């Protein structure tokens, strides 16, 4: 057992699952804020990988400030058109000169953005429906901490920062998260009429769960208003089915409730995202690192996407605490709710947090002492392998939003 | 008593004041994120006032997406200079054409930004140290809800949204909030060497409070390294004094801990903000509507600054719930901790929330039934006068960050 | 014969071919100024064609102000890379709303720019090596003049403007023009090492012609310095060969004279254009409408590229006068040099210029009266069919730079 | 006498004053193209002066590419307002790092632009009516040529370039030039209703001179349509008076001929420039270095404004040839028309041009041999003191447009 300051205690609240009112939200991949998160993170990953390849270690960068300015579009059944393009500005800093080499940071950022958009938002024609620009300042060269091909050091904390993770997801959280993921994957694969901008709000009061879905439809695949209504209905049915996999509670699903079908005021888009018409976006305004917005739980305000995965404590601790929480729940029985908080201490290695406190709600028949040791071991192991988080981020294996 | 769905219940956790670990943060007025919040909100206020003056009611707008791209500076004792300007892009949409009138929305936005910057960040030369640009799309004309000179309607909720407020502030929260406010006002008035970018992190473990201050110094008013060290010391002493007004606990104050005075690596700036060198910013990434970041408390992810105060439920409910919480605590004795949550219901007037739930921690000698009636009355009154929030925002009387 | 005010007179100077010193320049298709000209004109053509297709006539637009901001590149034998992208801003105004239709003017502009770049500068990766942005203001709706599918009116002159054309080209002019054209077509087809940015300066003193070529080389197709030197030599030989087709005078050809091969300071690029590194560009700064810069001849300062071909007199008169000059020389024998000038008169149809004056230098054995009638007939015919110029511009049949 | 290759010959055309048709144009200080010229040149001057002050010599820079994107305005009698700001982008490159010093090139550019605008276009509110942004690439450090405080070398020509100057101005040219200058100075001082955007076209046919003035009026100083008509009339009278000082020919003056007073379609502006509404601009598209556009005379296409005055041959030769032409005409009697052309030779000092040819039209009673010696001496002296041109440009004593 290490010397790390790990505390395991009962949480001073009911499990979220047992609270009276629960609110959960997820902004889908095509939501303007998520577009920004996704691009910021893909730029960060691309920079880290290029640095490793070119100079053998990750250099200073931070690209967590993408701004999206909405366009204007004229959707129409059967296929409308974008009128004014979306404008997206990638903002940040990155090291361009290092030991005689010039690293094409802006070029890397644009390529990563393009690749991300073409892969995740294929309805958007890069450079025509969306103009992507970049302003990267010059980074300060070397990181004092090393993440290289040959050696990896645990970095020092240079800031007082905080990360928080939770597990397991409540039923409502599981529904919200998985409904969006599966709409964008399974459902969309069969139904190209569904856009990527799917926003889901879950609200549970006691045992009644309401799931409200705002789903952008892609006009090229919608023939007329009847087709639209049918597609909305299909989305509703699909989400209702998904929900039953995660709960036995009563679930009501509402899709595109702001529509006024009579007057033709419906959620029809050319590109599958509201960014085409009036909805701006930026990094860190949407989902937290676990993919959800959960006011019932402690949240960090740090934007995780786009930060440097080697030495940005906020990013690392948010991802690590989530990872630890999931590991504990997978490996230790009897836990109904668990929160992991990691607080850094300036000047000490980040595998030695000022405090790692774990708060749990246990099943009725489980005592804290039954699980304390196992939990501590998992936390200790997670901290001991903190640089794995960096590695997995660079390899694109961890989601940040 | 109205028919509003108001619930008052015990909170299912200890008062924040009684929790073992508490973390609180505030980004001062000159922090890059706060600059964006401040400009977004001043633009929103200016637009609302101009609409009222020109067409007699507030029209559709939303300006909650300012992006700041950091500049480059070369500070030096006695006075350095900005090398590359900060770039700030005001993003949003606003109604430009209404009943034959053209409202100069972009001009209004630029004027408001200029006025705000010249008033709050006087060290920044507008147009030279900072370039302010604007991209406002066209808003959709009329609001369906009316906030006019002659009549004021309670708007309908067009979204499921959520606001949360807390009172009273814990000791640590009070210290963090007031230390920043008073540094930027009292202290800076006497000590022009202190910049506006003051970031304060408070951490309480049991009865030990650590206050960590990162304070940008203005080079023109710092003669040399000794002068710098003295000023840092003065800030420390000032904050330590402020702290004693809010707590009897032990408080340790740390200022500019990342400095390395030997090597001259200190927090010296030309303009008093880190935006001049490498720190980007955007709206909604910093303080919540009550001026603090409080992971121990439930927080809304909504950016409050820049939103339309007539019909944006997230903005209104965040401000209203905070206002109600403060009113309850001012008028009802025996409350140690209180949380107000307002949840909207699509299609109903916003003074009729889906649920207004109030959770309290009471003094030991107070029973819920002793205070329930008073609390409900204050909540009911706050909801009944919801349009006052709009009015106060437009008049610039409510802070949003 | 019409009533048009056509004058044919002897020119009061020697034929350019007979002047002692002659200077001629052409900026190739990949020169930063030419890139801007090319994009401005392709955007204009695309807008005109879209207007015709969508509303049956050309509406108000003007897109003659593209600005290119150079990038930064790191060329290397065998293939280097762009470091910072080129930034290109398409500027102008165009009618976006017409009789209930919304015309996606910015989208059209971006598509046209992309198509042009991918066709003419294939080494540039659109959206990565070059960021194309657009700021099109709203045009004023209808043109008072009609160019439609069903009817075509001759527009009124709304400005005092001036166009000038010359024929035949002097030997030096022919060499300069054709050397660039054939380098970029024939030579480049066989030699991918040659970039599109070929700038040619011709200087004739008496019977000595110097042709100075600055030719950007594409690094991916140049293995090493020897390969570079060989390619430069090949360009030299090719241009020398081309020259012999147009003159019997002595021609010396110099290629990339600013190179310092010893020190490796050579004209190597990644993308074939100096826009990648340090050379900005904009519309109307390079070639005149006949593809050349000819200080020995009268020139118009009007930027031809990007202007509206229906009613912009400067554009129409520059193209028409050049067309007329070429027609005269093709059809009338005995002309050594000819200049056509067209001057508009505000408020009259443009086929009725204030004056159309033609100045000629004739072969020794030809008298003005021998050719006057033929010349006048051709001028009259050209003016009578002025709208053909518009049509050919829209169809992309006329070069503007 | 030096060894310079100076030739003096008769010109092979009539004096411009004697040609049948003459066209002359001048875009006033507030024309969008002139705004760009003015800012580009003021930025260049400021950079040169700062370099001298900071490092003792002028470093590499080039800022000849300002782009102006027109705004939108709503003028009204008594005072309207700008709706969307003008956007102006300063483009170029400049040396930012030199021998350990950082020169704040972008900051210098913005300050110079602001100062210029506030001085020359005082109706424009900087930062509100016009947003000025800047993109300066990094210059390549040292110039190989020295222009320093302590020593001044004559630079080497690194390009084949060409400059041309003329004197004396014809009557029409004098009228056009001075009418604009005196309208913007004398007349505007008494009549604040006159804007800075005054465009003058002169056309002479035989002995009839037409002067067409397009003069933007400033709405704050125009009460109503009658006031407007009166002001237009005053401009007409003023220009007619000015004209009599320069010619005995018949002069007709037309002002704002595109107005339709009946329908209220008049040339009314908020800021005195058409840049506020629809007219874009850029450098080098308007006046040549002598302040005029003169298709009857040989013109250089080089943009003079914004170029580096130390080593840009095109700029230096255009200014020097104009200066020499004026000096010759001031000091040598009997010259009716004179053209000076300077052609550089790559690799030789610029005071040793490849050829300096002077073509003259003399009074009937003057023989070339009477004046050849004096002309050659003045040309020789001008070339010998070529660096004076650089000095005067840096000191802001020479106009470039």
State the chains in contact with A (3 or more Cβ–Cβ pairs under 8 Å).
B, C
Examine residue C177 and state whether it is found in any structural domain, yes or no: yes
Which among B243, B278, B313 is the end of a domain? B278
Q: What is the pLDDT of residue D158?
A: 78
B206 is in an annotated binding site: no
Name the residue of chain D whose CA is nearest to B72's CA.
D104
Confidence of residue A2 (pLDDT cuts 50, 70, 90): low
Span C204-221, pLDDT tens digits: 999 999 999 999 999 999
Quote the minimal CA–CA distance from B192 to chain A in Å.
26
Contact yes or no for D106 and B84 at CB 8 A: yes
Element housing C319 (H / E): helix C313-331
Q: Specify the residue for token string 């002002």.
A: D255
D306 and D258 inside one domain: no
Find the CB nearest A91 among B69, B92, B164: B69
Asked whether the predicted pLDDT for residue A1 surpasses 60, the reply is no
Q: What is the pLDDT of residue C345?
A: 84
Asked whether the predicted pLDDT for residue D108 surpasses 90, the reply is yes
Give the single-character DSSP code of C63: -
Confidence of residue B347 (pLDDT cuts 50, 70, 90): confident
Name the residue of chain B whose CA is nearest to A201's CA.
B160
Contact yes or no for A84 and C74 at CB 8 A: no
C313 and C180 inside one domain: no
State the chains in contact with D (3 or more Cβ–Cβ pairs under 8 Å).
B, C
Examine residue C10 and state whether it is found in any structural domain, yes or no: yes
Alpha-carbon span D163 to D290, nearest angstrom: 12
Contact yes or no for D131 and B134 at CB 8 A: yes
Asked whether the predicted pLDDT for residue C108 surpasses 80, the reply is yes
C207 and C250 inside one domain: yes
Q: How far is CA C98 from the centre of its chain?
A: 32
Confidence of residue C152 (pLDDT cuts 50, 70, 90): confident
B292 and B355 inside one domain: yes
Contact yes or no for C93 and D137 at CB 8 A: no
Q: Which residues of A touch C84 (CB under 8 A)?
A: 104, 106-107
Contact yes or no for A295 and B162 at CB 8 A: yes
Q: Which residues of C touch A127 (CB under 8 A)?
A: 110, 114, 126-127, 132
Mean pLDDT for the stretch of residues A32-46: 98
Contact yes or no for D286 and C301 at CB 8 A: yes
Span D157-195, pLDDT tens digits: 878 788 999 999 999 999 999 999 999 999 999 999 999
Q: What is the pLDDT of residue C143?
A: 67
Confidence of residue C144 (pLDDT cuts 50, 70, 90): low
Q: What is the CATH number of the domain that holds A302?
A: 3.30.300.280
Alpha-carbon span D377 to D359, nearest angstrom: 15
Asked whether the predicted pLDDT for residue C352 surpasses 90, the reply is yes
Examine residue C299 and state whether it is found in any structural domain, yes or no: yes
Question: Lowest-confidence range among C91-100, C359-368, D138-147, D278-287?
Answer: D138-147
D341 and D372 inside one domain: yes
Q: What is the CATH number of the domain that holds C130?
A: 3.30.300.10
B265 and B336 inside one domain: no
Mean pLDDT for the stretch of residues A372-380: 97
Question: Lowest-confidence range among A324-333, C11-20, D80-89, D321-330?
Answer: C11-20
Q: Which residues contact B138 (CB under 8 A, 6 or more apart)?
A: A72, B93, B94, B95, B96, B97
Q: Which residues contact A326 (CB under 8 A, 6 or more apart)?
A: A165, A167, A168
Q: Rounded to whole angstroms, what are the CA distances from A393 to A152, A156, A310, A315, C247?
A: 15, 19, 9, 10, 66
Alpha-carbon span A18 to A364, nearest angstrom: 13
Of the candidates A251, A295, A264, A286, the residue with the CA atom closest to the CA atom of residue A399: A286
Quote the minimal CA–CA distance from B354 to chain D in Å.
41
Quote the minimal CA–CA distance from D111 to chain B in Å.
6
Q: What is the pLDDT of residue B345?
A: 84
Q: What is the pLDDT of residue C142?
A: 63
Find the CB nearest A93 among B278, B285, B355: B278
B264 and B299 inside one domain: no
Annotated binding site of A for ATP: 137-142
Alpha-carbon span A135 to A125, nearest angstrom: 22
Element housing D72 (H / E): strand D72-74
pTM of the model: 0.95
Asked whether the predicted pLDDT for residue D153 surpasses 90, the reply is no
Asked whether the predicted pLDDT for residue A139 surpasses 80, the reply is no
Asked whether the predicted pLDDT for residue C127 surpasses 60, the reply is yes
Is the peptide bond preceding residue A104 cis, with omega within 30 degrees of 0? no
Span A236-271, pLDDT tens digits: 999 999 999 999 999 999 999 989 999 989 999 999
Examine residue C220 and state whether it is found in any structural domain, yes or no: yes
Confidence of residue A207 (pLDDT cuts 50, 70, 90): very high
Question: Lowest-confidence range among C244-248, C354-358, D212-216?
Answer: C354-358
B139 is in an annotated binding site: yes
Please provide residue A335's backbone torsions phi and psi, each rounded to the nearest 5 degrees.
-100, 125
Q: Which residues of C touch D162 (CB under 8 A)?
A: 23, 295
Is the peptide bond preceding residue C168 cis, with omega within 30 degrees of 0? yes
Quote the minimal CA–CA distance from D385 to chain C in Å.
25
Annotated binding site of A: 137-142
Q: Which residues of A touch B12 (CB under 8 A)?
A: 13-14, 19
Contact yes or no for B67 and A72 at CB 8 A: no
Mean pLDDT for the stretch of residues A312-317: 95
Q: What is the pLDDT of residue B148?
A: 85
Which among C277, C310, C327 is the end of a domain? C277
* CB C285 within 8 Å of CB C133: no
Contact yes or no for D84 and B104 at CB 8 A: yes
Span B296-331, pLDDT tens digits: 999 999 999 999 999 899 999 999 999 999 999 999
Span B350-381, pLDDT tens digits: 999 988 999 999 999 999 999 999 999 999 99
Question: Lowest-confidence range among A26-35, A45-54, A134-143, D382-391?
Answer: A134-143
Find the CB nearest A107 among C85, C87, C114: C85
Element housing C225 (H / E): helix C225-244
Confidence of residue A105 (pLDDT cuts 50, 70, 90): very high
Span C314-345, pLDDT tens digits: 999 999 999 999 999 999 999 999 999 999 98
Question: Lowest-confidence range among A155-164, B31-40, C56-65, D281-290?
Answer: A155-164
Examine residue A401 and state whether it is found in any structural domain, yes or no: no
DSSP code string of D143-184:
-SS-BBSS-BPPPBP-S--EEEEEESPPHHHHHHHHHHHHII
Share of chain A above pLDDT 70, in %: 98
Long-range contacts of D223-231 (CB under 8 A, 24+ apart): D223/D77, D223/D78, D224/D77, D225/D77, D225/D261, D225/D264, D225/D266, D227/D77, D227/D193, D228/D77, D228/D261, D228/D266, D228/D268, D229/D261, D231/D191, D231/D193, D231/D194
Q: Which residues of C touch A96 (CB under 8 A)?
A: 83
Q: What is the pLDDT of residue C220?
A: 97
Quote the minimal CA–CA distance from A346 to chain C in Å.
35
Confidence of residue B266 (pLDDT cuts 50, 70, 90): very high
Q: How many residues does chain B have?
A: 401
Confidence of residue D152 (pLDDT cuts 50, 70, 90): confident
Confidence of residue B141 (pLDDT cuts 50, 70, 90): low
Name the residue of chain C whose CA is nearest to D19's CA.
C12
Asked whether the predicted pLDDT for residue B145 surpasses 80, the reply is no
Contact yes or no for C82 and A74 at CB 8 A: no
State the chains in contact with C (3 or more Cβ–Cβ pairs under 8 Å).
A, D
SS3 C8: strand
Asked whether the predicted pLDDT for residue C58 surpasses 60, the reply is yes
Contact yes or no for B104 and D127 at CB 8 A: no
DSSP code string of C13-44:
S--GGGSSEEEEEEE-TTSHHHHHHHHHHHHH
Q: Give me Rg for the CA atoms of chain A.
A: 22
Annotated binding site of C for ATP: 137-142
Confidence of residue C86 (pLDDT cuts 50, 70, 90): very high
Share of chain B above pLDDT 70, in %: 98
D211 and D198 inside one domain: yes
Examine residue B146 and state whether it is found in any structural domain, yes or no: no
Contact yes or no for D128 and B134 at CB 8 A: no
Mean of per-residue pLDDT scores for chain C:
94
Name the residue of chain D whose CA is nearest to B136's CA.
D84
Number of domains observed in the structure of chain D: 3
Q: What is the ipTM of this complex?
A: 0.94
Q: What is the pLDDT of residue A153?
A: 87
B124 and B259 inside one domain: no
Q: What is the pLDDT of residue D141?
A: 60
Which among C248, C277, C306 is the end of a domain? C277
Contact yes or no for A96 and C106 at CB 8 A: no
Sign of the four-CA dihedral A298, A304, A305, A309: negative
Quote the minimal CA–CA distance from C72 to chain A in Å.
9
Mean pLDDT for the stretch of residues B105-117: 98
Q: Which residues of A touch C85 (CB under 8 A)?
A: 106-107, 110, 134
Q: Which residues of A touch B301 (CB under 8 A)?
A: 285-286, 288, 293, 295, 299
Q: What is the CATH number of the domain that holds B248?
A: 3.30.300.340
* CB A196 within 8 Å of CB A29: yes
Q: What is the pLDDT of residue B139?
A: 76
- Which region, left, alpha or beta, applies to residue C78 given φ > 0 means left and ψ of -120 to 50 means alpha? left
- The domain in which residue B343 lies consists of 6-15+157-169+286-394
Q: Which residues of B touch A92 (CB under 8 A)?
A: 280
Mean pLDDT for the stretch of residues D112-121: 97
Q: Which residues of A touch C129 (CB under 8 A)?
A: 107
Span B48-67, pLDDT tens digits: 999 999 999 999 999 999 99
Q: What is the pLDDT of residue D77?
A: 97
Contact yes or no for D65 and C282 at CB 8 A: yes
- Provide the pairing of β-strand D208-218 with D250-255: parallel
Quote the minimal CA–CA distance from D43 to chain B in Å.
13
Examine residue A164 and state whether it is found in any structural domain, yes or no: yes
Examine residue C23 and state whether it is found in any structural domain, yes or no: no
* CB D337 within 8 Å of CB D361: yes
- Give the residue numbers in D contacting B (CB under 8 Å), as ranges: 74, 81-85, 87, 96, 102-107, 110-111, 114, 126-129, 131-134
Contact yes or no for C140 and D295 at CB 8 A: no
DSSP code string of B209-238:
EEEEEEEEEEGGG--SHHHHHHHHHHHHHH
C114 and C42 inside one domain: yes
C62 and C201 inside one domain: no
Name the residue of chain B whose CA is nearest to A72's CA.
B137
Find the CB nearest D127 among B84, B104, B127: B127
Contact yes or no for D82 and B107 at CB 8 A: yes
D163 and D297 inside one domain: yes
Confidence of residue C2 (pLDDT cuts 50, 70, 90): low
Contact yes or no for B65 and A280 at CB 8 A: yes
Q: Which residues of A touch C114 (CB under 8 A)?
A: 127-128
Span A346-373, pLDDT tens digits: 888 999 998 899 999 999 999 999 999 9
Q: Which residues of B touch A359 (CB under 8 A)?
A: none
């Amino acid at each position: 057992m290490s010397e790390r300051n790990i505390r395991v205690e009962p949480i001073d609240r009911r499990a979220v699952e047992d609270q009276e009112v629960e609110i959960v939200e997820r902004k889908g991949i095509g939501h303007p804020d998520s577009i920004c998160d996704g691009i910021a993170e893909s730029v960060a990953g691309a920079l880290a990988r290029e640095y490793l390849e070119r100079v053998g270690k990750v250099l200073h960068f931070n690209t967590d400030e993408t701004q999206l300015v909405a366009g204007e579009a004229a959707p129409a059944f059967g296929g409308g058109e974008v009128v004014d393009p979306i404008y997206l500005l990638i903002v940040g800093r990155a090291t361009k000169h290092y030991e005689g080499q010039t690293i094409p940071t802006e070029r890397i950022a644009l390529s990563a953005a393009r690749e991300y958009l073409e892969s995740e938002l294929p309805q958007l024609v890069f450079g025509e429906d969306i103009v992507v620009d970049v302003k990267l300042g010059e980074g300060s060269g070397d990181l004092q901490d090393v993440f290289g091909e040959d050696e990896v050091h645990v970095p020092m904390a240079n800031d007082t920062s905080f990360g928080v993770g939770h597990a397991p997801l409540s039923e409502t959280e599981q529904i919200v998260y998985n409904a969006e993921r599966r709409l964008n994957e399974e459902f969309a694969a069969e139904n190209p009429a569904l856009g990527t901008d799917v926003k889901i709000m879950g609200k549970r009061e006691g045992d009644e769960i309401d799931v409200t879905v705002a789903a952008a439809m892609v006009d090229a695949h919608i023939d007329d208003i009847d087709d639209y209504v049918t597609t909305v209905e299909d989305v509703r049915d699909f989400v209702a089915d998904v929900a039953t996999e995660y709960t036995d509670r009563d679930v009501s699903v509402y899709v595109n409730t702001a529509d006024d079908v009579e007057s033709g005021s419906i959620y029809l888009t050319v590109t599958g995202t509201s960014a085409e018409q009036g909805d701006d976006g930026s990094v860190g305004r949407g989902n937290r690192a676990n993919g959800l917005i959960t006011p019932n739980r402690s949240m960090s305000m740090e934007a995780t996407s786009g930060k440097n995965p080697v030495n940005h404590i906020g990013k690392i601790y948010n991802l690590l605490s989530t990872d630890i929480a999931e590991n504990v729940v997978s490996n230790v029985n009897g836990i109904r709710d668990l929160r992991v908080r990691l607080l850094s201490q300036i000047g000490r290695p980040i595998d030695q947090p000022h405090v790692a406190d774990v708060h749990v709600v246990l099943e009725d028949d489980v005592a804290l002492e039954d699980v304390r040791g196992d939990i501590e071991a998992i936390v200790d192991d997670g901290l001991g392998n903190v640089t794995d988080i960096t590695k997995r981020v660079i390899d694109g294996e961890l989601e940040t939003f």
